[in-house]
């Protein structure tokens, strides 16, 4: 590994001069700076960011922790976060917990050891360590989608109005026998969407029983498994709602394996889009779109305010309204 001493030797200056040139270039002469930069370019020297952060108290890095990097919604959230942070001179460090609270805890400790300046967090299911650890450290943090503590800023979408758009659409299509593959009750998002669905069945005076709602796990495999079981019950539902996009992909697979077609045999509608796959479906699915890019960008903006010492004195909760994309 190239060190500051290698650069100093090639540039024929002291290691202290190289350090000054890297951290405070105006403190050295133009001729010396040019000689040092030439040596840096030739050797491929990279300054120690961690060592620099000890002096400046800023690493110019931000942690971004999400539970599933394959989720098209989260991909767009991350894109919005990255674009905003990059424009402000920060480098995001992306971590995928795969819904594991143990991995989330490990990533948190690792990122804190790297002296990140802030964190954008979509917590894993059953997350228990994040909130007390972040409160103890006082790290500027913004939660996205899953709001688990009133002590931090949060950016989310309106789960209740999103479900209302889906149920209202199906009702207008004459679908009265509707079932939903819901989210896990141990997440705020799952609870809000499940409770909204049951309340909407009552509002529209639609049939409701113990099989109207089954709890899923927000995965493709879970959506497939639950849809297979749902389609074994006769009569088939007229419509299935998937509480997230990944379970919708699994449900679609089960529907096709059963030899059924939508919307001829039944409707399938999804909370959130399916990414590139959604554009290839024939016929395409109706879904509720969350403004993921804007949510990510706004989360980054709120975090930048916190890191700069600004923003509101009390935590803020910003709620975006989803939109129905009818096919």
% of the chain surpassing 90 pLDDT: 60
Which pLDDT score is estimated for 210?
A: 86
Does 129 score more than 90 pLDDT? no
Measured CA to CA in angstroms, residue 249 lies from 85, 97, 113, 222, 256 at distances of 31, 21, 38, 10, 11
Does 46 score more than 70 pLDDT? no
The model's pLDDT over 228-270, given as tens digits with 9 standing for 90+, comes to: 999 988 888 999 999 999 999 999 999 999 888 877 789 999 9
Phi/psi for 39 (5° steps) reads -65, -40
How many Å apart are CA 151 and CA 71, to the nearest integer? 27
The model's pLDDT over 85-125, given as tens digits with 9 standing for 90+, comes to: 999 999 999 999 999 999 999 999 999 888 899 999 999 88
Instruction: Find tokens 């699915």 and name the residue.
Output: 285
Does 39 score more than 90 pLDDT? no
Provide the whole-model pTM.
0.80
Which pLDDT score is estimated for 276?
A: 64
The model's pLDDT over 185-202, given as tens digits with 9 standing for 90+, comes to: 988 999 999 999 999 999
Which regions of 163-231 does DSSP assign to beta strands (E)? 178-182, 213-215
Domains in the chain, ordered, with CATH?
A: 4-47 (no CATH), 58-156+293-320 (3.40.50.2300), 159-289 (3.40.50.2300)
Confidence of residue 54 (pLDDT cuts 50, 70, 90): very low
Does 57 score more than 70 pLDDT? no
For residue 223, which of 163, 186, 193, 183 has the smallest C-alpha distance?
183
């Amino acid at each position: 590994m190239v060190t500051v001493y290698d650069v100093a030797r090639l540039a024929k200056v002291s290691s202290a001069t190289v350090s000054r040139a890297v951290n405070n270039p105006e403190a050295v002469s133009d001729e010396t700076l040019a000689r040092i930069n030439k040596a840096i370019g030739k050797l491929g020297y990279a300054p120690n960011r961690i060592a620099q952060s000890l002096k400046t108290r800023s690493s110019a890095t931000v942690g971004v922790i999400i539970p599933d990097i394959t989720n098209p919604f989260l991909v767009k959230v991350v894109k919005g976060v990255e674009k905003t942070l990059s424009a402000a001179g920060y480098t995001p460090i992306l971590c995928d917990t795969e819904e594991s609270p143990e991995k989330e805890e490990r990533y948190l400790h690792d990122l804190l050891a790297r002296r990140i300046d802030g964190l954008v967090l979509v917590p894993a299911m059953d997350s228990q360590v994040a909130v007390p650890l972040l409160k103890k450290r006082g790290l500027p943090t913004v939660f996205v989608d899953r709001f688990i503590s009133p002590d931090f800023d949060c950016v989310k979408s309106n789960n209740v109005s999103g479900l209302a758009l889906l149920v209202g659409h199906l009702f207008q299509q004459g679908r009265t026998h509707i079932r939903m593959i819901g989210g896990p009750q141990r997440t705020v998002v799952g609870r809000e969407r499940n409770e909204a669905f049951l309340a909407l069945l009552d509002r529209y005076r639609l049939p409701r029983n113990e099989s109207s709602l089954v709890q899923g796990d927000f995965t493709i495999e879970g959506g497939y498994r639950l849809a297979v079981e749902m389609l074994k019950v006769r009569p088939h539902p007229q419509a299935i709602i998937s509480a997230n996009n990944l379970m919708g992909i699994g449900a679609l697979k089960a529907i096709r394996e059963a030899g059924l077609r939508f919307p001829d045999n039944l409707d399938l509608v999804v909370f959130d889009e399916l990414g590139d796959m959604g554009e290839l479906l024939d016929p395409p699915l109706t879904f509720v779109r969350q403004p993921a890019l804007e949510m990510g960008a706004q989360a980054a903006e709120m975090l930048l305010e916190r890191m700069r010492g600004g923003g509101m004195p009390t935590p803020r909760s910003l709620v975006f309204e989803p939109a129905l994309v009818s096919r």
